[in-house]
Structure 1
Amino acid sequence: TLPIFSQCGCRITVHLGRCPTPPIQQDFNVIKITARTVWYEAEKLPAVFERGKCRQATYSLLHDRTHTLTPCPLAPNPSPYLTCLCVCLGSPGDPYLVLSTDYRSFSLVYSLLECELIYLVCSVDVAWIVSRTRSLPRDVISRLHSDLEAIGVNLRCLTVSDQTSCDTVA
């Protein structure tokens, strides 16, 4: 595992080899996850395309029965070199896997990001613990941490998202 630091202070974790295929939520129901509009970010693995506080996202069902994610606005790009990194390591258009959810209060979302650099294949962990409220009970967070550890995610890289002094979204 190699921590990489960009000029803007974002940290990501890169592994040699292809992305793992983690177990996903059994009998996943996309209608239930999109039924209410807002998911608040509780914790995450840092991603170069996402910074700031009061982060939230909306999942929407599209006409073709696929779904899309609309995150809050991205931070301005502080470096022209960061664009290249985002294209290689992934962007908000990459596939999102719901590893665990109860639909009412929490979801554990994981994204598989792969990068091929000449003869080297790398994978990047990107994960979010999201909630229908701006905080989650400690026991739920602990269980979701166990789920992440089971697929090899380094919990030391998780950051708690700042949801203090945020306006309430209706």
Structure 2
Amino acid sequence: MLSPVYLLLLLPLVAAQSYHWGPCPDPMIQPGFKIQPYLGKWYEIEKLPASFERGKCIEANYDMRADGTIRVLNKQYYKDKWRVVEGSATIADPQRSGRIGVSFSYFTPYSPYWVLSTDYSSVAVVYSCTDVLHLFHVDFAWILGRSRFLPYATVQHAKEILVREGIDVFRMTNTIQTGCRD
């Protein structure tokens, strides 16, 4: 039996997230995904709410380490200063290379980072889902661009990909990418 105290402790964690009853969907990932052309800088265009992303000018930079893991460097401008966090990513199954695991601490397990679609040169659609006690799931979704701004039609097409895979995009918000000082 789930303790009411435990549920109360979980509420603040999911309040700034997008959550739904039931298990995580199992979306299709990009067939034949290749990590090498995906590496480099991506700018966050839109996202589902994420408590760890409250700033503007959000970007992620991916590069390969000598040991075969992927260095993840996330950056955002929040409360008048740049905030940078470094993590690590791995591809556990080369047959499903679009399903990447990302962790930002030695003490936390790898979280899903699934590339649903990318052309590698302009846009990527990424999804993550965490199942909570088989009662509900917490969604994360990002539309990323190689530039700070994407055409409206490109963003709409990215949202259509998410919707087609059963992912609710109603709470997606634009990420402010103006006034960014690199």
Band of TM-score, shorter chain: 0.7 to 0.9
Counterpart secondary structure, 1:97: strand
Cα distance change of structure 1 residues 68 and 16 upon mapping to structure 2, 3 Å threshold = farther
Counterparts of 1:75-114 in structure 2, within 5 Å, are: 93-114=110-131
Match of 2:84?
none
Separation of aligned partners in 2, 1:41 and 1:14: 20
Question: Could you list the runs of 4 or more consecutive aligned residues of structure 1 that deviate by over 4 angstroms after TM superposition?
Answer: 4-7, 73-76
Which digits, 9 at most, give the CA deviation of each residue in 1:90-118, with x for residues without a partner? x75512010000000111111121222xx
Query: How much does 1:47 deviate?
Result: 0.8
Tell whether the 8 Å contact from 1:50 to 1:74 is kept in structure 2 after alignment. Answer: no
Tell whether the 8 Å contact from 1:5 to 1:11 is kept in structure 2 after alignment. Answer: no
Could you tell me which runs of 5 or more consecutive residues in structure 2 were left unpaired when the two chains were aligned.
1-9, 80-102, 105-109
Tell whether the 8 Å contact from 2:25 to 2:167 is kept in structure 1 after alignment. Answer: no
Cα distance change of structure 1 residues 64 and 73 upon mapping to structure 2, 3 Å threshold = same
Counterpart secondary structure, 2:158: helix
Query: How much does 1:65 deviate?
Result: 3.2
Cα distance change of structure 1 residues 5 and 160 upon mapping to structure 2, 3 Å threshold = farther
Separation of aligned partners in 1, 2:167 and 2:129: 12
Scaled by the length of structure 2, what TM-score is found?
A: 0.70
Count of residues in Structure 1 that have an aligned counterpart in Structure 2: 146
Identity over aligned residues, as a percent?
A: 38
Counterpart secondary structure, 1:18: coil
Cα distance change of structure 1 residues 164 and 31 upon mapping to structure 2, 3 Å threshold = same
Tell whether the 8 Å contact from 1:5 to 1:12 is kept in structure 2 after alignment. Answer: no
Matched, 1:38 2:55: no
Query: How much does 1:6 deviate?
Result: 4.3
Tell whether the 8 Å contact from 2:27 to 2:166 is kept in structure 1 after alignment. Answer: no
Q: Out of 17, 20, 29, which is 2:34 matched to?
A: 29
Tell whether the 8 Å contact from 2:125 to 2:144 is kept in structure 1 after alignment. Answer: yes
Counterpart secondary structure, 1:146: helix
- RMSD of aligned alpha carbons: 2.7
Which structure has more strand as a fraction of its residues?
2
Counterpart secondary structure, 1:19: coil
Match of 1:12?
17
Could you tell me which runs of 5 or more consecutive residues in structure 1 were left unpaired when the two chains were aligned.
77-90
Matched, 1:163 2:163: no
